[in-house]
Amino acid sequence: MKGMDHSQRSHDDMDMANMDHHDMSHMDMSDMDMDMGDGHMMHMGNLKRKFWVSLILTIPVILMSPMMGMTLPFQLVFPGSDWVVAILGTILFFYGGAPFFSGAKAEIQMKQPAMMTLISMGVGVAYIYSIYAVIANNLFHVTPTVNNFFWELSTLIVIMLLGHWIEMNTVMNAGSAVDALGKLLPQEAHVVDDQGQVTDVKLSDLQVGQIVSVRAGEQIPADAKIITGSSDINESLVTGESKAIRKSTGDTIIGGSVNGTGTFTAKVTGTGDSGYLAQVMALIKDAKHAKSKSENLADRVAGWLFYAALFAGILAFIVWLTVANLAVALPVAVAVFVIACPHALGLAVPLVVSRSTALAAQNGLLIRNRTAMEQVNQLKYALMDKTGTLTMGEFKVNHLISLDTNHTEAEILDLMASLENGSSHPLATGILTAAKAQQLSLTPAEDTHQETGLGQFGTIAGTTYGVVSVNYLDQHQLAYDHDQFTRLAGEGNSISYLVASDQVLGLVAQGDQIKPAAAKLVASLKKQGITPVMLTGDNQETAAKVAAAVGIDEVQARLLPEDKERLVQQYQKTGKVLFIGDGVNDAPSLARADIGMAIGSGTDVAIESADIILVSSDPADVIQFLDLARATHRKMTENLWWGAGYNLIAIPLAAGVLAPLGFMLDPMVGAIVMSLSTVIVAINAMTLKIKDVA
């Protein structure tokens, strides 16, 4: 967390780098792979080509084959036409059906027969019977003539290929806004050499440590740290934050952001796979491929449908073979297998999640673990850090006090700033800003290091000093003015003490501002039946004041990282827990919570520990995530019902339960119904919208 307590904070800088433009500019959607079954991948370009080739082959088959046993007015019949149809049908079966056979093989190997197995069974039965019909009719001249099913076979394969093409195209279109992140970067960068000469190099050749010049109005080519100059940087295309941010010497900048009117030079901190945009893309990719609980449920339902269809199809085949003949029994079985194919069920969840993931990414919500989306409805508690979540995390030194007669206030500030020099923590930044304002020349510190739960330590002129919290003083039984602490903390300050040789030398009291949207977040959580709880390492007085201002009733203060993790487990005993922190010292709690949310673009630890990463530090994004998660869950449920629900009616109809009334469901009709259900779940998924909470 970016907590006020020195003992709770991290001094890690965020590793921000850019995605290599060369790597991302070649992400042609037609070359991407998509799932065609459990564990089987189908090349998008190959599938598109298979569809068009199969469609071309299907046209003559339709013209020369009977439809559902009926001779069409425009049907082309000539000597040997059956053999031509058989040849074309064989090509279609092996060429167009190849993706489904490969998928079925993978499903069977995994002992999880589902969609691909059903498709393969349907077209397999139709093909074998049709070849038998051609041979029986043309070589053995059986009477009556046996109807073949090449018409149904060819159209079924084309419809199935079309359905998968629609699926893949829909998923890719949903993610196109995320892929567009790669287009944020320019193709070249202005590299400055040791002699000050500027050379334009391709972005793919840019290396960490090189100096780049960024001119007014240009896009920043890579994540870097400004060396000279300053400018207002627009990071909206990357972070969603529309307000331009003033950046100057020492500040980090994100590749893909747009420079304002200033010109500056900066040192590249990362390229390629280590970049910020690369991390974004990796998160989206992981989210799309990770299995969620709902998807696992969808897979189980598909498995149940397979066995139900297998049972119903075999039973119908036996019954119709008994009461009629093979020519009647086989198309009935085929109809059962086709209508029960869980194609739409297989699309129900992935399409919704892909759409949801893309929408989230566009709005600065990076979903690392999709399972988190499905637990929002069960949330009971929202445990959150204070600094950086509810407050701005921008500290100003309000009080500087020397508690030792041998040190002036300026010397106290100088020593503290020397220890904090180089740290990016908000409290350290406040101290360094105050030292800069007084134009202090910092004394070099050696062996500076952070001790978790204790503070920041280092050696200056042979003496070991520490910048610590009141927790450290209490734990080590060091004397300090409790009344003074209570008064300063009661004003909303965070107090840091300077200690040396078990003596308290001085203190700084820094104030922070509450974020405008913090109270709205707390009110929204309460309205949704979620209890907000503040967990912070800061002192009780400051924590209580902030909590009262935003409307939080439960406050736990002066906590170490392990304390917060323990509290997460304690709250989990009575309900699902959302934890919001910055992912550094909060990493254990983020990992432990049912939903771990890192607010702010954060650090590598945040990305590794959290389920959800909020690029912007606006508390309103938490509300937006909860709304999106609920909408996503609702769409999943709708699609699952449609994907599986129609089978409850269709399978009995396909088996012929209404045959006594003169109604039989043909395999082609089954294929059409199934394909329509696919289109419906795709359209329903694409209607998912993200709610504007601004």
Report, as residue numbers or ranges, the catalytic residues. 385
Closest CA to 585 of 413, 387, 399: 387
- Coil vs helix vs strand at 246: strand
H/E element holding 499? strand 493-500
Phi and psi dihedrals of 13, rounded to 5? Answer: -85, 150
The pair of structure tokens assigned to 535 is 């967990």
Whole-number Å distance between alpha carbons of 387 and 28: 42
Compute CA 273 distance to the chain's CA centroid, rounded to the nearest angstrom.
17
In three-state secondary structure terms, 442 is: coil
The H-or-E segment that residue 182 falls in is: none
Tokens representing 515 are 């974020």
Element housing 136 (H / E): helix 115-138
By the 8 A CB rule, do 226 and 251 touch?
A: yes
List, as own/partner pairs, every contact residues 649-652 make where C-beta atoms lie below 8 angstroms and the sequence separation is at least 24, other chains included.
650/339, 650/340, 651/308, 651/309, 651/312, 651/336, 651/339, 651/340, 652/312
Contact 203, 221 (CB under 8 A): yes
291 Cβ partners below 8 Å, 6+ apart? none
Structure tokens at 130: 């049709």
Give the rounded distance of the alpha carbon of 196 from its chain centre: 42
Look-up: residue for tokens 């990770």? 290
Name the nearest CA neighbour of 604 among 397, 440, 419, 368. Answer: 368
> CA 506 to CA 509: how far, in whole Å?
10
Structure tokens at 197: 């000469």
In the beta sheet, which residues pair with residue 33? 43
Give the Cα separation of 368 and 37 in Å (integer): 23
Beta carbons of 469 and 455 less than 8 angstroms apart: yes
624/654 Cα distance (integer angstroms): 45
How many angstroms separate the most distant Cα atoms in the chain? 117
Sign of CA pseudo-dihedral 690, 355, 306, 38: negative
Of 312, 289, 299, give the one whose Cα is nearest residue 113.
299
The packing angle between helices 326-339 and 620-655, to 10°, is 170
Amino acid identity of residue 448, one-letter, is T
CB 267 within 8 A of CB 7: no
Separation between Cα atoms, residue 354 and residue 178, nearest integer Å: 11
